[in-house]
A and B are shown apart, each in its own frame.
Chain A
Amino acid sequence: MILKNVHAHYETDHGPVVRAVDDVSLSVADGEVLGIVGESGCGKSTLASVISLTARPPLHVTAGEMVLDGEKITLTDQARIPQDWHGRKVSLLPQRAMNSLNPTARVSDFVVDVMRAHDPTILPKEAIEQALERLEQLSLPSRVLESYPHQLSGGMRQRVVAIVSTLLNPSTLIADEPTSALDVSSQKELVLLLQALLERGFIKRIIYITHDLPMLSNIADRIAVMYAGEIVEIDTTKSMIDSPRHPYAQTLIGSTLDPDPRVREHRIKGIKGAPPDLRKPPSGCRFHPRCPYIMDICSQESPPLVGTETNFCACWWVQKQTDATTFAKVQA
């Protein structure tokens, strides 16, 4: 799956638009889990809405394409996105799963509605049988189908939501902070469930969005760090954790992952300042007002991408470092 040059903004009642996602491009390979991490307000949930094709006013997608299993769609016009993409090609595992099921319908009723939306000829009975089979394969109790959402615990409800959102075998699942409201053991069970879905081939890839880095390092193959609506660095989970390159990624990872307080002390001095106002983002590199390694050029020009499509970093300072290393190598 490839995502190209996505731009999206929120319209506000007064004044300028909020440019929540700015020129984001991504690619996710088959069988891969891509994690997207960032502070709240960095645009990651907005990105989730855009990729999961659930963007609704006041959120507007102004540019961007998605290529999925050889088919290409433009993301700007909701109405022209083929109906069968919703839930079948891409599917959303939402934030606040607590409220994501209709409180006055049984889970089975919803399952039938979802299945029939994509295959009107299917009988309710068949739809429920398929769902039962799926529950069995993933060793979840079949009685959840007969329940109303309020009869399920929070963790179970989130797992049920995960099952329903993958019922149509979507090729990409977008998980938007799915564990944020869960206790630790429920979080673990959900992650195991997602891995099982991937292993059994019900879904081909997951884009997992969260601010929870430790959790992400357990499930993701690669991690993308978002800042102020842009992706500032993408790398494999291991290199991202061990040696983040972008100053923001360093701060973020240092502040959340390193167990040794001395190392933490050494690496970061906390992130000073607040994320920028996305109605008028800073010029040049958006991180420059908070960056410890700021150079003159940072506030003037957008930083270059250093690296390849699947593993890059957008930073002037990193480029300078890389150049220096290359130069040293050439010298030697």
Chain B
Amino acid sequence: MATIAPVSNAVSVRPGLLEGLRRSLAIATKRNRRFWFSLSLLTLLIAFSLFGPYVFDKTDPKRLIGGLYDSPSAEAWLGTDNFGRDVFTQLMFGTRTSLTIGVIAGLIAILIGVVIGTTAGYHGGRIEESLMAFTNIVITIPSIVILILLSIALTTRSVVTMGLIIGVTSWPWTARAVRAQTSSLRTREHVDIARISGAGAASLILREILPYMLSYIVMAFVLQLSSGILQEAALAMLGLGPSNAISLGIMLHWALLWESVRTGAWWAFIPPTVLLTLIAFSLLLLQSSADEIFNPRLRRK
């Protein structure tokens, strides 16, 4: 499980929001090679999972093309798995599933986290205390345990439900970070002005607070995405992956169960391992370099 670093005090984007975001990105990223590297790597991975099957004309991950752990060959570039299915094809579809679940989980986590975080940070007082108490409790109870309990309760698990339950258990980090940002933004002049002119809480949060931490939320999403993908892989390795699809974690599950490591069938476990690592690495690098761009204090002088 990747430990999610609390998002640090990023500088908020100035008004004229998208333009401002675009411009600061354009200036700052010129010198940040890590940012471009991670972004390209990620794009490559996404393209591989989305277009790969058509480019390589390998569109059926379930087709049996050989026996147990056939070595890589001209037909099966990365050999076959324990059922005799093509590892390379599975890899493309597995990456797609993992990314999809990650995106669903990330979006849900961000949605819940932002709602709870802004509500707590904006209102303060009792509301803030109770919401944050709730958040802290959810943080301390290990989410994998909740996920296991939920997964065994669900007899069939689709890609969407997997994304859903992972999102529902992983929002607290975002909620905390967003709350901290909101309470510091709350006292800004432009928020006061809007408040005096009679804007309601919801519209204040939407118009005067959220736009100022857009960069922040984007970074939080990247973290949630990465943790969602890893949570799915962990569950799948335990045997609790989506029942209607192939994912990188499920590939590892079968590889471990069918002794691929001990029999030296490296093609069954190294490729999904490498892909998971690349996804996690590119996302973490993207987040940390974006953090440096938005938060100049981390930049070395």
Q: Give the interface of A toward B (CB within 8 A).
A: 13-14, 57-58
Main SS class of interface, A: loop
Q: Are A58 and B27 in contact (CB under 8 A)?
A: no
Distance (whole angstroms) from the CB of A212 to the closest CB of chain B? 24
Interface residues of B in 263-301 (CB under 8 A from A): 301
Kindly state the separation between the CA atoms of A158 and B256 in the bound complex, as whole angstroms. Answer: 64
B27 near A57 (CB under 8 angstroms)?
no
Whether B27 contacts A14 by the Cβ 8 Å rule is yes
Query: What chain A residues lie within 8 Å of B301 (beta carbons)?
Result: 57-58
Q: A-contacting residues of B (Cβ < 8 Å)?
A: 27, 31, 301
Closest to A11 in B: B301
Which residues of chain A come closer than 8 Å to B27, judged between CB atoms? Answer: 14
**Minimal beta-carbon separation of A98 from chain B (angstroms):** 18
Inter-chain CA distance A114–B195, complex, in Å, is: 50
Give Cα A100 to B301, complex, Å.
22
A-B pairs with beta carbons under 8 Å apart, 4 shown: A13-B31, A14-B27, A57-B301, A58-B301
Min C-beta distance of B76 to chain A, whole Å: 51
For the complex, what is the distance from the CA of A316 to the CA of B31, rounded to whole Å?
Answer: 45
A57 CB contacts on chain B under 8 angstroms: 301
- Going nearest first, the 3 A-B pairs with the smallest beta carbon separation are A57-B301, A58-B301, A14-B27
CB A17 to nearest CB in B, in angstroms, measures 14
Residue of B nearest to A59 (CB): B301
When C-beta atoms are compared, the residue in chain A nearest to B30 turns out to be A14
| Complex alpha-carbon distance, A132 and B27, angstroms | 54
- Minimum CB–CB distance from A279 to chain B (whole Å) comes to 16
B226 to chain A, nearest CB (A): 29
Q: How far is the CA of A125 from the CA of B216 in the complex (A)?
A: 50
B31 surroundings in chain A (CB, below 8 A):
13
How many angstroms from the CA of A58 to the CA of B31 in the assembled complex? 18
Question: CA separation between A14 and B301, bound complex, in Å?
Answer: 13
* Complex-state Cα separation, A57 to B301, whole angstroms: 7
B31's closest neighbor in chain A, by CB? A13
Interchain nearest-CB distance for A332 vs B (Å): 59
A278 and B31 CA atoms in complex are apart in Å by: 25
| Nearest CB of B to A56, in Å | 9
Least CB separation from B28: chain A residue: A13
| Chain B residues in 8 Å Cβ range of A14 | 27
Nearest chain B CB to A13's CB is how many angstroms away? 8
Interchain nearest-CB distance for A10 vs B (Å): 10
| Nearest CB on B from A9, distance (A) | 14
Q: How far is the CB of B139 from chain A (nearest CB, A)?
A: 25
Measured between beta carbons, the chain B residues less than 8 angstroms from A13 are 31
B9 to A: closest C-beta gap in Å = 16
- Chain A residue with Cβ nearest B300: A57
Docked complex Cα distance between A278 and B114 (Å): 41
Chain B residue nearest to A58 in the complex (CB): B301
B163 to chain A, nearest CB (A): 40
CA–CA, A13 to B27, complex, Å?
A: 10
CB nearest to A14 among chain B residues: B27
